């Protein structure tokens, strides 16, 4: 009888201990969200604001004011995306060495200065110089953002937080449309697009200062966490990797580059990136096809961006909830694929309402893979050095897709841009098939781990229970 009572008491103590740990984990997660997410949300808001404002400026006569001819506007986008792609990996290596909380604010300040300097541009050469430097600086943000989140969250928690940050991209698109709608009606000493660059550049620099002051370097180095919280955080993060120090390991980097799924993920980014860049840079242009009023064209970008925000958070929440990366990304992109194809093939001159509805589909569902796939990649990369390199390569491929998008939207194809729209649809179809194939590869690996054909996942010797995200 005494033994029975003792066992029952032991079970109760275990249950209380588990419940207490769950409460502590939730409290730690809430505190981390409060300390980390606001700064990153502000950072991505400014990133999107300054990267996409050229599309708004185009509708206000920027080409005419700067004397751009032929495809020089598209060339500006290409020249932005070249350094935007080339500097992703160097920035993530720097973030591994110096910490993302240092790299991100510095990069934000540089592209904010470039945005404001664009106000003084008088010809193609001067606007080109600011866009090239801006591209090199903005290359830092997205790969460093995801890598930064892996310093605080487990792989099961990152997806929805990347999406929360991603909402700021759509809000920035809506705000930029609203600012453009306002300043393009001003009659001061500057052109409307110059006021746009000044306002948005100043917002960006303010964001850089905020982030530099308040962003924590890591849980272990932050004064806002107790020793108990730091130990709990270390225990949680050990579930995803066996290496948590700040050293950059060249052997890990080399191994990651020789691991073929690294390049498969990069190919996925190249495919979904064409639609992402097209929607970011040409949404005002596509909507202007449906109305002759420039001011209204910018105002009409608000609706698709706000609806996309809701769709994005819903899709990534579902992905986190079900722990299904590929299925959610591939399933949702079918809708945007249809939107791009229909925009390019339907005669919408007499049906502007239908065309406007299709922009909701393309904007709403095109960006979902760009938030889910990097999280999937990070989840299946056990070393922090490998994660930094793989994420840099992934975003480099996505930004190369921006070059493909830019050269697809040719002046001679205006106002419909059929080849560009069909290109967006086709690349999204290829992404869907490739994503499902990569998912099956990881499903097969997990089956081998379950059957003990593999004793543990590579790089996870101490955690034989580790399974790949799918």
Residue 9: per-residue pLDDT: 44
Residue 97: per-residue pLDDT: 87
Model confidence pLDDT, tens digit, residues 88-100: 999 988 998 889 9
Report the range of poorest mean pLDDT among 15-19, 38-42, 58-62, 202-206.
15-19
From the list 285, 295, 275, the residue with the least C-alpha distance to 340 is: 275
Cβ partners under 8 Å of residue 435, min gap 6: 268, 326, 329, 330, 369, 373
Omega into 415 within 30° of 0, i.e. cis?
yes
Domain boundaries, the chain: 37-217+254-450
DSSP 120: G
DSSP 368-395: HHHHHHHHHHHHT--SHHHHHHHHHHHH
Q: Could you tell me which CATH number the domain at 37-217+254-450 has?
A: 1.20.1250.20
* CA 340 to mean position of chain CA atoms: 21
d(CA 312, CA 318): 10
Whole-structure pTM value: 0.81
- Give the number of other Cβ atoms within 10 Å of residue 109's Cβ: 18
pLDDT above 90 covers what percent of the chain?
51
d(CA 309, CA 127): 31
d(CA 238, CA 269): 28
d(CA 118, CA 97): 32
Model confidence pLDDT, tens digit, residues 100-128: 999 999 999 999 999 999 999 999 999 99
Model confidence pLDDT, tens digit, residues 353-383: 999 999 999 999 999 999 899 999 988 988 8
From the list 179, 65, 85, 162, the residue with the least C-alpha distance to 370 is: 162
Model confidence pLDDT, tens digit, residues 397-425: 998 999 999 899 988 898 899 999 999 99
Buried b (16+ CB within 10 A) or exposed e, 435-445: beebbeebeeb
Evaluate whether 440 touches 448 at the Cβ level (below 8 Å).
no
3-class DSSP assignment, residue 340: helix
What torsion do the CA atoms of 127, 133, 136, 137 make, to the nearest 10 degrees? Answer: -110
Report the range of poorest mean pLDDT among 9-18, 51-60, 99-108, 194-203.
9-18
Confidence band for 11, pLDDT divided at 50, 70 and 90: very low
Evaluate whether 436 touches 412 at the Cβ level (below 8 Å).
no
d(CA 88, CA 47): 14
Of 469 and 6, more confident: 469
């Amino acid at each position: 009888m005494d033994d029975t009572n003792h066992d029952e008491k032991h079970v109760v103590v275990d249950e209380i201990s588990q419940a207490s740990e769950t409460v502590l984990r939730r409290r730690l997660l809430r505190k981390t969200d409060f300390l980390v997410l606001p700064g990153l949300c502000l950072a991505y808001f400014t990133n999107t604001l300054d990267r996409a404002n050229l599309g708004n400026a185009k509708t206000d006569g920027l080409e005419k004011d700067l004397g751009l001819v032929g495809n020089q506007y598209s060339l500006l986008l290409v020249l932005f995306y070249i350094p935007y792609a080339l500097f992703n990996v160097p920035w993530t290596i720097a973030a591994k060495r110096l910490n993302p909380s240092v790299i991100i604010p510095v990069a934000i300040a540089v592209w904010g200065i470039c945005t404001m300097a664009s106000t003084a541009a008088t010809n193609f050469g001067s606007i080109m110089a600011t866009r090239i430097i801006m591209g090199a600086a903005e290359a830092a943000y997205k790969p460093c953002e995801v890598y930064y989140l892996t310093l605080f969250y487990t792989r099961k928690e990152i997806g929805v937080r990347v999406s929360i940050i991603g909402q700021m991209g759509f809000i920035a698109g809506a705000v930029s449309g609203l600012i453009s709608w306002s300043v393009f009606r001003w009659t001061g000493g500057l052109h409307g697009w110059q006021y746009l660059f000044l306002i948005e550049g100043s917002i960006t620099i303010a964001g850089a200062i905020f982030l530099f002051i308040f962003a924590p370097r890591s849980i272990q180095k932050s004064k806002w966490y107790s020793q108990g919280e730091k130990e709990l955080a270390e225990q949680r993060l050990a579930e995803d990797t066996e290496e948590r120090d700040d050293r950059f390991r060249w052997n890990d980097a080399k191994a990651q580059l020789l691991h073929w799924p690294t390049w498969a993920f990069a190919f996925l980014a190249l495919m979904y990136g064409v639609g992402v860049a097209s929607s970011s840079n040409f949404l005002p242009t596509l909507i202007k096809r449906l109305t002759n009023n420039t001011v209204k064209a910018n105002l009409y970008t608000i609706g698709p961006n706000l609806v996309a925000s809701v769709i994005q958070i819903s899709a990534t929440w579902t992905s986190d909830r079900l722990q299904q990366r590929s299925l959610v990304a591939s399933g949702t992109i079918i809708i945007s694929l249809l939107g791009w194809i229909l925009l390019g093939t339907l005669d919408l001159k007499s049906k502007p309402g239908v065309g406007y509805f299709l922009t909701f589909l393309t904007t709403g569902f095109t960006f979902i893979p760009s938030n889910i796939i990097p999280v999937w990649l990070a989840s299946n990369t056990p070393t922090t050095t490998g994660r930094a390199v793989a994420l840099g390569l992934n975003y480099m491929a996505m930004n190369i897709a921006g070059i493909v998008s830019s050269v697809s939207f040719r002046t001679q194809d205006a106002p419909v841009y059929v080849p560009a729209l069909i290109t967006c649809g086709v690349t999204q179809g290829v992404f869907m098939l490739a994503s499902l194939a990569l998912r099956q590869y990881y499903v097969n690996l997990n089956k081998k781990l379950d059957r003990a054909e593999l004793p543990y996942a590579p790089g996870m010797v101490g955690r034989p229970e580790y399974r790949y995200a799918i």
